[in-house]
């Protein structure tokens, strides 16, 4: 199992970035795919036609999201936790991403996905 931590800058205020991560209609705008998402702790979510599935654990509106991502059988013993913290900045939002317990065999795909498809798409969505 591996951990991943990275910072991103988004040219939008934290409230808008938070909506882009939690509102199914906004997720569909930047991802191009339908999403199942709720800000209800304990609810399950699905992105990119169930390529990413998991459970929402914690929310602080406009500031923080904590999720458990499912990776098959090992998820019960070693949950893979995603924590996204949004910090206001002069140019919009600084994003701190931490993803723990990523299975070794999925690490390269997951980290590339975070950088290119997930945050790359959000950053492009908010470019001026």
Please return the burial class of 105, using the count of CB atoms within 10 Å of its CB with bins 0-12, 13-18 and 19+: exposed
Res 78: pLDDT: 80
Q: Taking Cα atoms as reference points, which of 123, 118, 128, 120 lies closest to residue 33?
A: 118
Q: Is the pLDDT of residue 17 over 90?
A: yes
CA angle (31 as vertex; 25, 35 as ends), nearest 5 = 50
Q: What is the mean pLDDT of residues 90-113?
A: 96
Q: What is the mean pLDDT of residues 4-11?
A: 98
- Percentage, residues of the chain above pLDDT 90: 88
Neighbours of 32 (CB within 10 A): 9
Q: Is the pLDDT of residue 72 over 80?
A: no
The DSSP H or E segment spanning 39 is none
Domain 2-125, what fold?
A: Alpha-D-Glucose-1,6-Bisphosphate; Chain A, domain 4 (3.30.530)
Alpha-carbon 119 to chain mean position: 8
């Amino acid at each position: 199992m591996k951990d991943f931590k990275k910072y991103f800058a988004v040219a939008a205020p934290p409230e808008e970035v938070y909506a882009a991560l939690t509102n199914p209609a906004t997720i569909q705008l930047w991802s191009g795919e339908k999403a199942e998402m709720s800000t209800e702790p304990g609810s399950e979510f699905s992105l990119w036609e169930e390529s990413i599935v998991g459970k929402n654990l914690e929310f602080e509106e406009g500031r923080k999201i904590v999720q458990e991502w499912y990776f098959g059988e090992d998820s019960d013993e070693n949950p893979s936790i995603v924590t996204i913290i949004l910090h206001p900045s002069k140019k919009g939002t600084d994003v701190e991403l931490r993803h723990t317990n990523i299975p070794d065999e999925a690490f390269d795909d997951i980290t590339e996905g975070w950088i290119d498809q997930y945050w790359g798409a959000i950053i492009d969505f908010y470019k001026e």
